[in-house]
Structure 1
Amino acid sequence: MPHLTVEYSDNLPDYPEREALRALNAAVCASPEVLDEADVKTRFVRHASFEIGTAPAQRAFVHAQLRLLAGRSPEAKQDLAGRIAEVLRQHTPRPAGVLVQLSVEIVDMDRPSYVKERLA
Structure 2
Amino acid sequence: MPHIHLEYSDNLQNLQAEKVLKAINLCMFDGGYVSAASDVKSRAVAQSVYMVGLGEEPQAYLHAKVSLLSGRSNELKQQISQQILQVLQQNLPAQTGLTVQVCVEIIEMPKESYSKAVIAAH
TM-score for both structures, normalised by structure 2? 0.92
**Higher deviation after alignment, 71-80 or 88-97:** 88-97
**Higher deviation after alignment, 96-105 or 15-24:** 15-24
Partners of 2:22 and 2:114 in 1: CA distance: 26
Alignment length (residue pairs): 120
* 1:117 and 2:117 are equivalent in the alignment: yes
Percent identity among equivalent residues? 38
Please give the residue correspondences for 1:18-97 in structure 2 after superposition, counting only pairs within 5 Å: 18-97=18-97
CA deviations over 1:5-47 (Å, ceiling 9, x no partner): 1100000022111221221111011233312221100111100
> Cα–Cα, structure 1 residues 33 and 12, in superposed 2: closer, same or farther, change >3 Å?
same
Deviation at residue 101 of structure 1 after TM alignment: 0.4
Deviation at residue 87 of structure 1 after TM alignment: 0.8
Structure 1, unaligned runs of 5 or more: none
3-state DSSP of counterpart to 1:51:
coil
Partner of 1:7: 7
Partners of 2:33 and 2:13 in 1: CA distance: 33
3-state DSSP of counterpart to 1:32:
coil
**Higher deviation after alignment, 32-41 or 97-106:** 32-41
Deviation at residue 111 of structure 1 after TM alignment: 0.9
Partner of 2:16: 16
Deviation at residue 55 of structure 1 after TM alignment: 4.9
Letter in 2 for 1:74: N
TM-score for both structures, normalised by structure 1? 0.94
The structure 1 segments of at least 4 consecutive aligned residues displaced by more than 6 Å after TM superposition are: none
Partners of 1:102 and 1:76 in 2: CA distance: 20
Letter in 2 for 1:29: F
3-state DSSP of counterpart to 2:88:
helix
Structure 2, unaligned runs of 5 or more: none
> Cα–Cα, structure 1 residues 62 and 117, in superposed 2: closer, same or farther, change >3 Å?
same
Partners of 1:19 and 1:33 in 2: CA distance: 20
